[in-house]
């Protein structure tokens, strides 16, 4: 019988997954912006998702030291940055999705290899990708406190996810990996990144997901690394990556994500 903390984490993951799925199916106006003012039609449409997302934050984020001072609403956003920096982060989300299905000895061995490739420096690089994305969000909210809380909540979700990746790696590094402990950390990765992605435009989420999946399919030697040759390779019956996708990959390589695109 699972422990209460693990059971609660599992419940959180189910709730977050359901919320994320629902948010990705709502009208684009609730997601994509721009929202020139908090009274605009797109801003009002965004209110429909706020109760669910505030519940989500309650499950994922610890209450601030002075909970009474925390905002009771989400910040109004004018526009979001390009999806480019989300691609590596989605790769970690995909890793958690795969890890959640791992149960056999062979599957755990594969996870040990994939998690083991991620150093602390690599995890900081993913945190940087989150920070870069958050820093380039343009807010239309008149309340600086609300904006600060919004930014802090987004980063905390990303930061906690990367910390859980590190703990999962340590669990797998032991001679006899504890499956329950490993899945607890995998759940934490999924819960936190799902909450992070639930607060971005659905179209950007879909773009990051689609490109991440394309890159995974191009990994011919299954080493969780995408070489230049693999990115440009066209398998029999497959379509080459569009130039715009190649441009995104090239840009990410230039800022140090060459080996971190498909962890």
Find all residues with CB under 8 Å of 66, minimum gap 6, and list them.
Answer: none
Return the pLDDT at 161.
97
What distance in Å separates the CA atoms of residue 212 and residue 41, rounded to the nearest whole number?
Answer: 32
Which residues of the chain carry a pLDDT beneath 50?
1-67, 236
Return the pLDDT at 24.
37
DSSP secondary structure string for all residues of 23-88:
HTTS-GGGTS---SSTTSHHHHHHHTTHHHHHHHHHHHSPPPTTGGGS-SSPPPEEE---GGGHHH
Return the pLDDT at 238.
60
Return the HEC string of 235-248: CCCCCCCCHHHHHH
**pTM (predicted TM-score):** 0.71
Do 201 and 80 touch, CB atoms closer than 8 A?
yes
> For helices 144-173 and 120-135, what crossing angle results, to 10°?
160
What distance in Å separates the CA atoms of residue 111 and residue 182, rounded to the nearest whole number?
Answer: 10
**Cβ of 125: how many Cβ atoms within 10 Å?**
18
Q: Tell me the two tokens of residue 245.
A: 């996708």
What distance in Å separates the CA atoms of residue 91 and residue 112, rounded to the nearest whole number?
Answer: 16
Q: For 107-153, how does the pLDDT look when each residue is reduced to its tens digit (9 = 90+)? A: 999 999 999 999 999 999 999 999 999 999 999 999 999 999 999 99
């Amino acid at each position: 019988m699972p422990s209460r903390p693990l059971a609660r984490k599992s419940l959180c993951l189910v709730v977050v997954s359901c919320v994320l799925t629902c948010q990705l199916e709502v009208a684009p106006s609730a997601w994509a912006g721009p929202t020139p003012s908090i009274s605009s039609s797109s801003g009002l449409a965004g209110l429909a998702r706020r109760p669910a997302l505030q519940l989500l934050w309650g499950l994922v984020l610890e209450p601030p030291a002075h909970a009474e001072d925390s905002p009771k609403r989400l910040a109004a956003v004018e526009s979001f940055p390009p999806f480019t920096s989300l691609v590596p982060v989605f790769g970690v989300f995909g890793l958690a999705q795969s890890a959640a299905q791992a149960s056999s000895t062979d599957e755990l061995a594969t996870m040990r290899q994939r998690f083991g490739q991620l150093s602390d420096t690599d995890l900081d690089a993913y945190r940087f990708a989150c920070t870069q994305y958050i820093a380039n969000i343009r807010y239309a909210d008149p309340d600086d406190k609300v904006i600060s809380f919004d930014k802090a909540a987004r980063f905390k979700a990303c930061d906690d996810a990367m910390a859980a990746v590190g703990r999962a790696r340590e669990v797998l590094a032991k001679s006899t990996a504890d499956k329950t402990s490993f899945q607890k950390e995998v759940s934490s990765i999924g819960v936190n990144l799902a909450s992070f992605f639930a607060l971005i435009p659905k179209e950007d989420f879909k773009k990051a997901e689609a490109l991440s999946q394309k890159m995974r399919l191009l990994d011919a030697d299954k080493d969780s690394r995408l070489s230049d040759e693999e990115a440009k390779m066209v398998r029999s019956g497959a379509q080459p990556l569009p130039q715009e996708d190649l441009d995104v990959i090239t840009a990410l390589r230039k800022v140090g994500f060459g080996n971190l695109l498909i962890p």
